[in-house]
Structure 1
Amino acid sequence: MTQLRSDAALRRDQILDAADAVFSERGITAPLDLVVTRAGVGRATLYRNFPDRAALVEALFERAMAQLEAAAPGLDLFALIEQLGLNIVGAPALADYWRALEPGHPAAKAARERVARLFRAPLASSLARRRCRADLRPADLVLVCGMLGTALRGETPARRRTLVRRALALLQGGVAAS
């Protein structure tokens, strides 16, 4: 992929930041004109960078995953689960989008595989140190992340964080070694 000019990269980031804010406030189906207005760019700039809503949402997911992958090497299994749970409640519209896709959708399948890969090294380390159940697999941790998504039922961001932390406390007992 060619390197984006710095001004083009800046506009792309502005669009992503605006989309993240608009989708968090108004939901994933918010009019894209709100994203354009918030980003301070023209419609043509939006569509030149992201031809449709799916491309925009997938770019938001890509950015979130890249940040998580950068942080993951320093996190143990339980800290990674917690961080992913907090990311889920921090971007409720993004989580809604992924849950709305059919399980067999290529983007959904790729997302699940990427999350599973993210957990492989911390899981192997936890298994070796006997800190988690011996039968725990990366796919189980993808399931745990889906379970943490139920915290999105909280009415406010603070309530959602409280719910995800409670879910984590309950899940940890099921994931940790007995």
Structure 2
Amino acid sequence: MTTQRADAAARRALILDAADAVFGQHGVTAPLDMVVERAQVGRATLYRNFPDRAALIEALLKRAVVRIERQVERLGDRDDALFQVLDGMASRLVHSPALSDYWRAVDPDHPPMAAARLAVREALKAPIQRAIAAGLCRPDLQPTDISLISSMLGAALRGKTTEEREHLAARAMDLLRGGLHGPSHEPAG
């Protein structure tokens, strides 16, 4: 029974990886047969795991949240954990543009979306507080600001190629780092 569960989990992960790649290349409206083909599973296996496109997209969103939570855990008590997580978010925007666009476009009150946003805010509360305490971050940063930061990073989605998106995401992070540090308190000369 354990082997069956492990096999089912592996197939589910394979389908999610395939969907992420297909949606990243062709958008979230790409034919699900492309996901089936890329995952090398049967159509029945896809629908047994994800009854429809919405369930598949929601699973991808949940997986993105879990990745952020795990990254926060791995980083532990590092003062710069917030910036490491934001760098990771920028990278995911670059490599999964369609899903990232969906994340930003869907009504924030849609229950799965609201739950995902809440989970990310909760995961980043401690890293935000550590960054503030260490003087790495402006003292007025709130967990609710993460959605705004994510939207700002979303400007990288305007790049037509992965290279363009990487450049735009890196530039956005450079600008955000300065803004997150806060205004200089030195007198103007």
Fold equivalence (TM over 0.5): yes
Match for residue 44 of structure 1? 44
Which residue identity does 1:77 align to in structure 2?
Answer: L
Matching residue within 131, 146, 149 for 2:154: 149
Partner residue, 1:135: 140
| Aligned AA (1:39) | A
With normalisation by structure 2, the TM-score equals 0.87
CA distance in 1, matches of 2:21, 2:3: 26
Alignment gaps of 5+ in structure 2: 185-189
For 1:100 and 1:146, how far apart are their aligned partners in 2? 10
In the alignment of these two chains, the number of paired residues is 177
Structure 1: runs of 5+ lacking an equivalent:
none
How far the C-alpha of 1:158 sits from its partner, in A, is 1.3
State yes or no: 1:25 paired with 2:25: yes
Displacement after TM superposition at 1:4 (Å)? 6.2
Structure 1 stretches of 4+ with a deviation exceeding 3 A read: none
2:63 equivalent to 1:63: yes
Asked if 1:90 corresponds to 2:92, the answer is no
Measure the CA separation in 2 of the matches of 1:57 and 1:19.
8
Partner Cα distance (2:164, 2:123) in 1:
27
Give CA deviations for 1:85-113 in whole Å, capped at 9, x if unaligned. 11122211111222231122112211211
* Counterparts of 1:77 and 1:162, CA distance in 2: 21
- Quick one: which amino acid aligns to residue 93 of structure 1? A
> Cα distance, 1:3 vs. partner?
9.5
What is the one-letter code of the residue matched to 1:55? A
Partner of 1:118: 123
How far is 1:67 from its partner? 2.3
The amino acid that maps onto 1:87 is R
Task: Quote the Cα distance in structure 1 between the aligned partners of 2:17 and 2:34.
Answer: 12
* 1:41 aligned counterpart, secondary structure: coil
CA contact (8 A) 1:28 1:96 kept: no
Aligned identity (percent) is 53
Residue 156 of structure 1: how far off its partner (Å): 0.7
- Give the CA RMSD over aligned residues: 1.8
Match for residue 170 of structure 2 among 165, 169, 174: 165
Structure 2 counterpart of 1:109, from 109, 114, 121: 114
When structure 1 is superposed on structure 2, of 87-96 and 158-167 the one drifting more is 87-96
Take 2:107 and 2:3, find their aligned partners in 1: how far apart are those partners? 33
1:3–1:115 CA distance, 2 compared to 1 (3 A): farther
SS class of match (1:57): helix
In the alignment, the residues of structure 2 paired with residue 105 and residue 67 of structure 1 have an alpha-carbon distance, to the nearest angstrom, of 21
Larger CA Rg, structure 1 vs 2: 2
